Chains A and B, each alone.
Chain A
Amino acid sequence: MFSKTKGAAFMPYVCCGDPNPEFTLKLAKALAQNGADAIELGIPFSDPIADGKSVQAASARALVAGMTPKKAIGIIGKLRKEGIGVPIVAMTYYNIPFSFGEEKFAVELKKAGAQGLIVPDVPIDECGPLSAACRKAGLDLVQLATPNCSDGRLRKIAARTKGFLYAVSVVGITGARGRMDARAIRLVKRAKRMGVKVAAGFGISSPAQAREFEQAGADGVIVGSRLADLYSRFISGKLIGERRALAAASKFAREMKRACLG
């Protein structure tokens, strides 16, 4: 997932099915062609408590348009069939795999071609059954660490995580921020010392911010809300002005990728 040579991986978040499945396929493809090193694919949930307005709105649009966990897994399979080779990490909230059946969910994600899974409302203390299901399926369950983690806690999270450690770069929820918290940069440095791959995300919205994290040693930079803000301007109902939306997303991806290279 992370380039061995230079800079940080650019990992955009895409809410699956916003505003329709066809656009998600095209958006993922455009992002991959314009510098994305991995894609975090959000499987929308009705009550996304870790998300700010942009991702909430994207999730709501996707659900109204009929997106389901099963269809989202189908889209991962489709991306693979269409030759999109970048790693895909699914992101959702715990009730989705819990309701689906954790083992079945992990197996089907893996079978479709996903490498990992992020579930922000399952901290390490509660991750037992989901970890077991993912391990069995060969899927990386990515753990999240936050700026207010003690060193002891961070060490435990780093020991538990698979694939990479998700360094949450704000004290709060997702959503573009003008300025980054100094504690977030420190978190990346602290996590790096524990010998794991670290991707920073939450609140990162500009190339300059991405560069800050790259310079702090992050192996990856995750950007979601800003991207949703960019393309959602072209949405009306289930329709979207695809050409302009994809052009805006592609341009943003190129800028972010350049920043991630350092």
Chain B
Amino acid sequence: MKKYFGKFGGQFVPETLVMALQQLEHSYLTVGKSRKFRQELGRLLRTYAGRPTPLYLAKKLTARGGGAKIYLKREDLLHTGAHKINNAIGQALLAKMSGKRRLIAETGAGQHGVATATAAALLGMECDVYMGSVDIARQAPNVYRMELLGARVIEVASGSRTLKDAINEAMRDYTASFETTHYLIGSALGPHPYPAMVRDFQSVIGKEAKGQFAAAEGGVPDALVACVGGGSNAIGLFFPFLNEKVKMYGVEAGGDGNGHAARLTGKGKPGVLHGMKTYLLEDRHGQIADTHSVSAGLDYPAVGPQHSLFMEQGRVKYAEADDSEALSAFHLLSELEGIVPALESAHAVAFALKLARGMGRGKSIIVNLSGRGDKDVDHVRKIEGER
């Protein structure tokens, strides 16, 4: 497998992990490509996770936009409520079949932690999830869910106490535990082979959407829209369309206008964090910046390395939606379509609405509705109560 996407990616890890990652790559290329693995993964995604997910034409949202048709890829309907389960089951099954008995994961919004805890329960594996204390406070229901599923949630109180620091702590654990443990990274980021492997597990989104759109409208859509934290739901939707004449938009969190999480549209520049060379936010001394977004899942100062390449190539356009736009979309989709989106996905909806408005009526957009908003209901109620 190629270690780099253009000049991005790589394997910037302590020596201890080099061997562990080589083993992981080997497992992925042998076990992960085996017929037995593919069949079992397919079976679990169908019978357990709820694939395929529908591609839904959101008529009232389309009417509100007044332009292109807006289709929603309903990843929010998956078991555990987000696209994260695609990757969690894929990696957990790979780990299990490679002889590991324990899973560790980081989580921001809690969705990936819940997905990993679920996969661990399903496959009978131990599970520890690292979570920043800021995120624990704003995503309390997901903490309890992980515990219900038999996982241990380990609070991370260092640094900015969010996703970035949870990844640091999970990597430290993995450095000491890789012989028995698989680190189940939740997005298409980290050292090689994670970005490629996670992308492959999430590509099921785009593959399905492609077939479903062709059946509904014929051909391919004019544009794809997805939110980008680490970037796994976006790359999962985009990847199978890369060679098609389709415009692609990745939507970053604009936050509150200040220390936001716009790495590709804002002040980001290439750097090295979490084992990869990629665009990231740092201060003028090279220290990684604290980010802020209303959605914990987008609160991340770096981005998956293949997105950095897509941005430099111009293959994908990156845009941002700020906190208030995301909150408006959160309400709008709930009221118009009866779908409460995750705040992360609400960023994509907010942008897609603007995009649709600027496109003609004959055009179509697919938005990846990457997760449902149940986890955000209390949080939104609280922050709106304060306003």
Binding site for B on A (CB under 8 A): 45-52, 56, 60, 63, 68-70, 93-96, 98-100, 120-123, 125-126, 143-146, 148-150, 153, 157, 168, 170-173
Contact = CB atoms under 8 A, between A and B. Distances in A.
8 contacts: A46-B288, A96-B285, A99-B271, A100-B286, A121-B275, A168-B15, A172-B175, A173-B172
Contacts of B15: 120, 123, 143-146, 149, 157, 168
A47 B168 contact: yes
Nearest to A69: B285
A49 B168 contact: yes
A125 B11 contact: yes
Contacts of A143: 15
B115 interface: no
Nearest to B172: A173
Contact of B285 (A48, A70, A168): A70
A201 to B, nearest CB: 13
Contacts of A153: 18-19
Contacts of B272: 93-95, 98, 121
A171 B19 contact: no
Nearest to B13: A121
Q: Which 6 A-B pairs have the closest CB atoms?
A: A99-B286, A172-B176, A46-B287, A146-B16, A68-B285, A94-B272
Contact of B12 (A121, A144, A173): A121
A123 B273 contact: no
Per DSSP, chain A at the interface is loop
B164 interface: yes
A94 B286 CA distance: 10
Given A96-B286, A122-B12, A170-B176, 9 more contacts: A50-B14, A95-B286, A98-B272, A123-B11, A125-B18, A144-B15, A157-B15, A171-B179, A172-B175
Contacts of A173: 14, 172, 175-176
A134 to B, nearest CB: 16
B171 interface: yes
B19 A148 contact: yes
A123 B18 contact: yes
Given A125-B18, A148-B19, A149-B15, A98 B286 contact: yes
A125 B22 CA distance: 12
B276 to A, nearest CB: 11
Interface in B281-317: 282, 285-288
Contact of A50 (B11, B165, B175): B175
Interface of B: 10-16, 18-20, 158-159, 164-165, 168, 171-172, 175-176, 179, 270-275, 277, 282, 285-288
Say what secondary structure dominates the interface of chain B.
mixed
Contacts of B164: 47
Between B11, B176, B285, the greatest number of chain A beta carbons within 10 A of the residue's beta carbon is seen for B285
A66 to B, nearest CB: 10
B125 to A, nearest CB: 21
Given A123-B13, A123-B14, A47 B285 contact: no
B176 A171 contact: yes
Given A95-B271, A123-B11, A148-B16, A52 B172 contact: yes
B12 A126 contact: yes
Contact of A47 (B18, B20, B176, B273): B273
Nearest to A56: B158
Given A121-B272, A173-B176, A60 B159 contact: yes
A49 B171 contact: yes
B290 to A, nearest CB: 9
Contacts of B273: 47, 95
A94 B12 contact: yes
A46 B286 CA distance: 9
Contacts of B171: 49
B280 to A, nearest CB: 8
A50 B288 CA distance: 16
A149 B158 contact: no
Given A47-B288, A49-B168, A98 B14 contact: no
**Residue among A45, A98, A121, A172 with the most chain B CB within 10 A?**
A121
A99 B16 contact: no
Nearest to A122: B12
B225 to A, nearest CB: 31
A49 B166 CA distance: 11
Contact of A168 (B16, B172, B270, B288): B16
A123 B10 CA distance: 11
A158 to B, nearest CB: 12
A126 B158 contact: no
B178 to A, nearest CB: 8
Contact of B16 (A93, A100, A157, A172): A172
A196 B151 CA distance: 45
A171 B76 CA distance: 40
Contacts of A45: 286-287
A188 to B, nearest CB: 15
A49 B14 contact: yes
